[in-house]
Structure 1
Amino acid sequence: MPRTTYQPVPLTQPTAEQPVIVHLRLPPPNAIIRRHRHTWGQISFPLRGSMRVTAAGTTWVVPTMRAVWIPPEVEHEVVTLGETALHACYVLPAASPLPLTTCSVLEVSALMRHLMVALADSVPLSPRHRQLSAALLLEELRAAPTLWPGLALPTDRRLKALCDALMEEPGSALSLAQWAERTGASERTLARLFRTELRTSFAAWRQQLRLAHAVDLINRGRPLAHVAAETGYANAGAFSTMFRRALGKAPRDFMAHRADE
C-alpha cells in the first residue's frame, strides 16, 4: 500500500513551566511518520480512526480510546490506518508519571480524552486553566490501565519482509511455504526464525496480528462479515470462534461493551 510521508509540525518542546503539550495532528489517509526520536515522552492517541505504532522492536494497532506511551529517546514510527485524526501529547521527562524506559498501551478514559482536547493547541486556555488541566491529565495517565503488550518484530531481513507484508495485508491466506518462496528463505528456516526471534509460531503471530486488526475494525463499526473477510476468515462464524477463544467474549459482546464506553 503506497503511503504518504507526513511531517508533523509544530514540535513544541515541553518545559518546566508547561510540562505537557498537546498537538492535534491531521495527517492524510494512510500516512507514515517515519522513524524519529525526541527528548520528551509522547502519548499518541487517535481521536478518530486508528494507527499502527512501532517502537522498541514491537508494533501496536491502536484504535480510539487507546493510546501508546513512548518514552524519551525511543525511536518510533507511526502509520495511520485510513483516515485518522490524532493527538500527540508531549510530556516533560521530569514530570512523567509513566516509566521512562518502557513503552506501553494505555486505556484512555473519557476524562483523559476531554483533557487532551482541551489542551490541544487549537483551543486557547488561560494559564491557570492550562496548568490545572495538565496536572489532572498527568494524574489520569498515572491511573490508566495498561493493556496488551503488542506484537514483537524480528530483525532478520527475511522474516521482517514477511511480517511487514502481513501487517499491510493481515487477511493474506498465504501459507508459510508460500511466504518462503517470496522471501528467499526455506519454510524450515522461517519456522525456526519465528521460534528463535519472536518466541512463537507463524500461525500464532498471524492470529495476534489479525486479532489486533479485528479490534480496530470492530471499533470502526464495521459489520462482522466485513471484519471476517478483512482478517482472513471464511465467514463470520469462524471469525467469532477465534475471537471468543482469544478474548473470552463474542465480537457482538465486545461491540456492545465498546458502545458503552
Structure 2
Amino acid sequence: MLLEGKVVLITGAARGIGRATAFILAQEGAAVGVVDVLPEVETTAREIEKSGRSSVAGIADISDPGQVHDAVQGIVSELGDINILVNNAGIVKNISSLTKMTHEAWEREISVNLSGAFNMIKEVIGPMIEKKWGRIINISSIGATGGLHHQVGYAASKAGLLGLTKTVTLEHARDGITCNVILPGLIGTELVHQMPEEIKEAALPLIPTRRIGQMEEVGHLVSFLASEKAGYINGSEIPVDGGMRLNVSTLGSRKEIREMRGPVSRKG
C-alpha cells in the first residue's frame, strides 16, 4: 500500500471527488481526516471506519481560520499530525457574467476556494516542516488556465491555486515538502450527472477521449502524488481532463459549444 502509516486530511469530502478520493487514500493505508461544511462528511468518516481504516470528521467552513484550527486540532488529537493535505473543497456561488455577478458571490468563492486552501496549509504545515516530510495536493480546474464562461469567480479562485502551489514549492521544497496542483476537466460528479443531457452532449466533442472522467481517476492521481514514489514531482500542474484543455479556449458560449459535433462515448 502506498500510504501505510500516513495521516491525510482532505477537504470537501462530504461528496464528489473529495469523498471518492478519501476512500482511495484509506484503501492505500492512510488514516484519513475529512473536513467539510456539510454534516454528511461524518457519513464519509463512518464508512471509512467500517472498511477497517481510521477516520475522523471535522465540520468547518474553511474560509474561517478559527474553524479550520478547531477542525484540524480535533483530527490531530485522534489521528496524529497531518502528513498529507488535499485541498479539494470548492464552490460555485452563482453562474453569471462578470457584469451580473454580485460582490458577495465573488468574495465567497475566493474565500472558500483560494483563502480556504491557504488557511488549511498554514494550519498543518508546521509539523511537516519539523519532520522534513509532507505532501500538499491542491485541486484546481482546467478553467484556471483557460477561463470559464460565466464563472469568473470560480475560474479566478482556481487560478489562484496555481500561484499558491508554486510559492509553497519554492519556499518549502528544502523542507521535504512537495506541493502540486491537479486540474480536473469534466468529471462525473453528482453535479455533472444532473446537468441536462443536451449540455453534456454538446460538451463531449471538446474532449478528445469523448467521455466524462471518473472521480476515481482524480483520486488515484492524488494517491500517487501523496506517496513516496512522487518525491521528485514538485510545483507541477497536472491536468486530468481527457485532453479537454486543448480545446478549452473554445469554451465560449453554449451556442459555440453546440456547433461542435463528433462521435461520443457513453463510458464514464
Larger RCO (CA under 8 A, 6+ residues apart)? 2
Larger Rg belongs to: 1
In the superposition, the TM-score normalised over structure 1's length comes to 0.28
Which protein is richer in strand relative to its size?
1
Which protein is richer in helix relative to its size?
2
